Copies of this chain bind each other. A is one copy, B any other.
């Protein structure tokens, strides 16, 4: 067997699921832990999450939200207050039943100090935050109340996958209360917009905004909205959700206020969240067969400089030259932050270094040897281009154009992802074509990656039962009813009945 020509084995087309795991490993982003379903987020993965947090946190604050922190544990009785909600989460709760450990006579430790009421490790915090809101809100003057929490949550998933689905994950959850239904709906849509803007501008990941159908709604919500992105296996990744909760949770928690007329009313609430799952989305949108490709706006390092000293007469001079470039770059800003530069002077082979940074997805790599220094130039490679497209650039020109260059990379990977989605989205008007579009021809060919499929746009007026049937037939579901797509009324190809607009179908994570 010949040596593979890519840094990641297998490639996307050979085995997509395994390729994903290998990219995470090669970029040193995360790994499984000894605790079933829980991951360890390694420094490179965590630094990307920190950059996501920082940008999102700024957007939340700009839209008038304040951070706070609520208990990790939720008493069972709280969870029970909203019937659909508890139904939705009961099957995947970590339950704390004891508050100390005791040694048995034979020296083993066993749980002791049984709690009167078991506590659930929060899978989401509507009920516990609702209890605080009920205390904090007395009158219309206390509204709107707009809170966000950065936290860990636990949902006991049986089949887990790094970043995409883990028993414990990190997220933010926004929780707001309003005096009117209209205001709460406006908040719900505003936060969907914030998520879409973040996904497209910062992650360079195109998304479709839309409403979920009944079957995919958040347990206890009146309307659930999401942003949906197409991954490179053409499956959809739900990347953020925003819920209009009506008065369901305020009724359960008694979040009441006196309105301007002195009438007691129930508040209208929302909740919305994104999680470390976004890191998985980032990988599956941009990474290639050589590893991660990072959008500059989220890259922990924008530029890595590799000094090529082994053939130099004066290695120190090259180091000084590299450090001076690093200093000049660091004094420049991109996306309102200083440009982050690393001079990699480790004592290992230059080729190994280069491959390591390629696999980690750093946007720009400079290799600087004696000839470059003599020319007052740098040798540059862009991670978003082919590996062979490297070129010498005058130092001054490189430094002056670095901001534009990073923005160009950001734009180019967005454009590529959008083009991919468009190429694999089909408007479909017959049931036959729909079934044909999603029929896995690769089953015959024994290929794990579908050669067709993607997003199908069809009219739809069907029932939950019909959706279930299609899911059973094809493993395809309605990802969302788009809120911003040009849409004419038409005929549902499954029922022959009139339909107000098209919906997006896809296989999904």
Show the binding face of A for B, using Cβ within 8 Å. Answer: 31, 33-35, 38-43, 46-47, 49-50, 66-76, 78-80, 86, 90-103, 109-111, 113, 118-121, 128, 131-132, 135, 147, 151-152, 154, 156, 168, 170
In the complex, which residues of chain B have a beta carbon less than 8 angstroms from the beta carbon of A69?
40-41, 46, 49, 170
**5 pairs, CB–CB < 8 Å, chain A vs chain B:** A35-B119, A86-B101, A94-B119, A96-B96, A151-B152
Complex CA–CA separation, A41 to B71 (angstroms): 9
Contact of B72 with A34 in the complex, beta carbons under 8 Å: no
| A98 in contact with B97 given A33-B128, A43-B68 (CB within 8 Å) | yes
Complex CA–CA separation, A151 to B72 (angstroms): 11
In the complex, which residues of chain B have a beta carbon less than 8 angstroms from the beta carbon of A92?
99-100
| A70 in contact with B40 given A93-B101, A101-B95 (CB within 8 Å) | yes
Contact of A80 with B97 in the complex, beta carbons under 8 Å: no
Contact of A101 among B41, B50, B103, B120 (CB under 8 A): B120
| A38 in contact with B86 given A100-B91, A111-B95, A121-B96 (CB within 8 Å) | no
Q: Name the distance in Å between A300's Cβ and chain B's nearest Cβ.
A: 9
Contact of A38 with B152 in the complex, beta carbons under 8 Å: no
Q: Name the distance in Å between A7's Cβ and chain B's nearest Cβ.
A: 21
In the complex, which residues of chain B have a beta carbon less than 8 angstroms from the beta carbon of A46?
66-69
Contact of A98 among B95, B152, B154 (CB under 8 A): B95
Complex CA–CA separation, A132 to B46 (angstroms): 15
Complex CA–CA separation, A39 to B73 (angstroms): 11
Contact of A75 with B111 in the complex, beta carbons under 8 Å: no
Complex CA–CA separation, A102 to B34 (angstroms): 27
Q: Name the distance in Å between A127's Cβ and chain B's nearest Cβ.
A: 10
Contact of B109 with A99 in the complex, beta carbons under 8 Å: no
Q: Name the distance in Å between A226's Cβ and chain B's nearest Cβ.
A: 25
Complex CA–CA separation, A44 to B84 (angstroms): 33
Complex CA–CA separation, A131 to B97 (angstroms): 26
In the complex, which residues of chain B have a beta carbon less than 8 angstroms from the beta carbon of A101?
76, 79, 86, 90-91, 93, 95, 120
Complex CA–CA separation, A98 to B69 (angstroms): 25
In the complex, which residues of chain B have a beta carbon less than 8 angstroms from the beta carbon of A43?
66-68, 147
Complex CA–CA separation, A42 to B66 (angstroms): 9
Contact of A152 among B99, B135, B152 (CB under 8 A): B152
Contact of B34 with A78 in the complex, beta carbons under 8 Å: yes
Complex CA–CA separation, A43 to B146 (angstroms): 10
Contact of A109 among B34, B90, B97, B151 (CB under 8 A): B90
Complex CA–CA separation, A103 to B91 (angstroms): 11
Contact of B96 with A68 in the complex, beta carbons under 8 Å: no
The closest CB in chain B to the CB of A147 belongs to B43
In the complex, which residues of chain B have a beta carbon less than 8 angstroms from the beta carbon of A109?
76, 79-80, 86, 90
Contact of A35 among B35, B73, B95, B103 (CB under 8 A): B73
In the complex, which residues of chain B have a beta carbon less than 8 angstroms from the beta carbon of A110?
118
In the complex, which residues of chain B have a beta carbon less than 8 angstroms from the beta carbon of A70?
33, 40-41
Complex CA–CA separation, A91 to B103 (angstroms): 11
Known: A46-B69, A91-B101. 10 other contacts (CB 8 A): A33-B131, A39-B71, A41-B70, A76-B101, A79-B109, A90-B100, A92-B99, A93-B100, A95-B101, A152-B152
Q: Name the distance in Å between A415's Cβ and chain B's nearest Cβ.
A: 32
Interface centre among A100, A131, A132 (most CB of B within 10 A): A100
The closest CB in chain B to the CB of A49 belongs to B69
Q: Name the distance in Å between A77's Cβ and chain B's nearest Cβ.
A: 9
Complex CA–CA separation, A385 to B102 (angstroms): 53
Contact of A95 with B93 in the complex, beta carbons under 8 Å: no
Contact of B35 with A47 in the complex, beta carbons under 8 Å: no
Contact of A97 among B72, B97, B152 (CB under 8 A): B97
In the complex, which residues of chain B have a beta carbon less than 8 angstroms from the beta carbon of A100?
90-93, 95, 156
Complex CA–CA separation, A491 to B156 (angstroms): 60
Q: Name the distance in Å between A86's Cβ and chain B's nearest Cβ.
A: 7
| A128 in contact with B35 given A90-B109, A101-B120 (CB within 8 Å) | yes
Q: Name the distance in Å between A104's Cβ and chain B's nearest Cβ.
A: 12
Q: Name the distance in Å between A200's Cβ and chain B's nearest Cβ.
A: 26
Q: Name the distance in Å between A83's Cβ and chain B's nearest Cβ.
A: 11
Q: Name the distance in Å between A275's Cβ and chain B's nearest Cβ.
A: 12
Contact of A68 among B40, B78, B103, B113 (CB under 8 A): B40
In the complex, which residues of chain B have a beta carbon less than 8 angstroms from the beta carbon of A80?
109
Contact of B118 with A40 in the complex, beta carbons under 8 Å: no
In the complex, which residues of chain B have a beta carbon less than 8 angstroms from the beta carbon of A131?
33-34
The closest CB in chain B to the CB of A65 belongs to B43
| A68 in contact with B42 given A119-B35, A120-B101 (CB within 8 Å) | yes
